[in-house]
């Protein structure tokens, strides 16, 4: 089946937020006495829902975090995004060449997704076609979010291609019986390829990869 709809993850695929977001997290948890390296945090938390991130941090701290931890973290992250967040290199040029329906399906809250897209000037491209795990109460690697996005967009799962950068996202796309393209660097390519998906490391490759499907 040819691709009719391209479903994009947000963090790390459309916006270059993985390093920024995890930098804020590392700095914040340090205030509670937990020392995390940035690279370790990215590996631990990429694509994870917030509740799972909190559970890992509390396990390592061997204590509960304050009730307003997530609220504070999101506020700090939003402030950094406003000043520093950039689109993923080459994504705008790639989107200009993609003549297919597109949407966003992300594990983050709707406000966070919209903020990230607004700051990077990508919001007009996706307005009205943004889907969040928080809308349906289901997170990757479950396929529900991608299936929900496809249904809302009126496209069969077999006619969708997912663009993801995390293991959890790739697994969700595969579980949804969609084609999956894994955007990753060379060091992590083997990991994503192990799920039987096509990997690529530059957004300039994306339009051609979509045309082959």
Identify the pLDDT of residue 209: 96
- pLDDT tens track for 181-196: 999 987 788 989 999 9
The CATH fold assigned to 5-16+86-211 is Rossmann fold (3.40.50)
**pLDDT given at position 212:** 64
- For domain 18-84, the CATH superfamily is Putative phosphatase; domain 2 (1.10.150.240)
Domain boundaries, the chain: 5-16+86-211, 18-84
Which of the residues are catalytic? 9
Query: What pLDDT is attached to residue 46?
Result: 87
Q: What is the strand order of the sheet 5-8 is part of?
A: 130-132, 101-106, 5-8, 160-164, 179-183, 198-200
The tokens for 53 are 């991130």
Whether the CA torsion 198, 20, 133, 125 is positive or negative: it is negative
Q: Where are the alpha helices (DSSP H) in the chain?
A: 18-30, 38-45, 50-61, 69-84, 91-97, 110-119, 123-126, 133-136, 144-153, 167-175, 186-193, 206-211
Residues of the chain with pLDDT below 50 are none
- Residues 75-118 have pLDDT tens digits of 999 999 999 999 999 999 999 999 999 999 999 999 999 999 99
Please give the pLDDT value at position 22. 95
Report d(CA 183, CA 11) in Å as an integer. Answer: 11
């Amino acid at each position: 089946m040819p691709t009719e709809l391209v479903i994009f993850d947000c963090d790390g695929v459309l916006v270059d937020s993985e390093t920024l977001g995890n930098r804020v997290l590392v700095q914040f948890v340090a205030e509670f006495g937990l020392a995390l390296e940035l690279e370790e945090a990215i590996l631990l938390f990429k694509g994870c829902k917030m509740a799972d991130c909190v559970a890992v941090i509390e396990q390592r701290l061997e204590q509960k975090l304050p009730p307003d931890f997530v609220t504070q973290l999101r506020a700090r992250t939003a402030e950094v995004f406003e000043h520093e967040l950039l689109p993923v290199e080459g994504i705008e040029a790639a989107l200009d060449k993609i003549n297919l329906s597109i949407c966003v399906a992300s594990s983050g809250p709707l406000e966070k997704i919209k903020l990230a897209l607004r700051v990077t000037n990508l919001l007009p491209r996706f307005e009205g076609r943004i889907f969040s795990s928080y809308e349906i109460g289901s997170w990757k690697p479950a396929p529900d979010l991608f299936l929900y996005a496809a249904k809302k967009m009126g496209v069969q799962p077999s006619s969708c291609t997912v663009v993801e950068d995390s293991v959890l996202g790739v697994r969700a796309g595969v579980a949804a019986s969609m084609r999956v393209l894994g955007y990753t660097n060379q060091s992590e390519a083997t990991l994503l390829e192990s799920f039987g998906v096509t990997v690529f490391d530059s957004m300039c490759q994306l339009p051609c990869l979509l045309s082959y499907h």
